[in-house]
Amino acid sequence: MTVLGDKVELTLSVFRDTAIKEDTKAAIRTLGLVGGKYVELAGGSPNAPLLKPGGVLIGHESMKLEDLTRTALDVIARLKKIAINLDRVLGDPAMAKSLKSIIQNLQETTANIKVMTSNKDDVAQGLKSLPDILKKLDESSTNLKAITEKTDKLIGENRENIDIMIENFKDMSKNLKETSDDVKINPWKVLRKP
Q: How much of the chain is helix, strand and coil, in % rounded to 5?
A: 60, 10, 25
**Residue 161 falls in which region: left (phi positive, over 0), alpha (psi -120 to 50) or beta:** alpha
CB distance 143 to 119 below 8 Å: no
Q: What is the DSSP string of 58-80?
A: -B-PPP-HHHHHHHHHHHHHHHH
Length of the chain: 194
pLDDT digits 0-9 by tens, 85-125: 766 666 667 776 777 788 888 888 877 777 666 665 556 55
SS3 state at 38: strand
pTM of the model: 0.34
What are the boundaries of each domain within the chain?
1-61, 65-190
Could you tell me the pLDDT band of residue 131, with boundaries at 50, 70 and 90?
confident
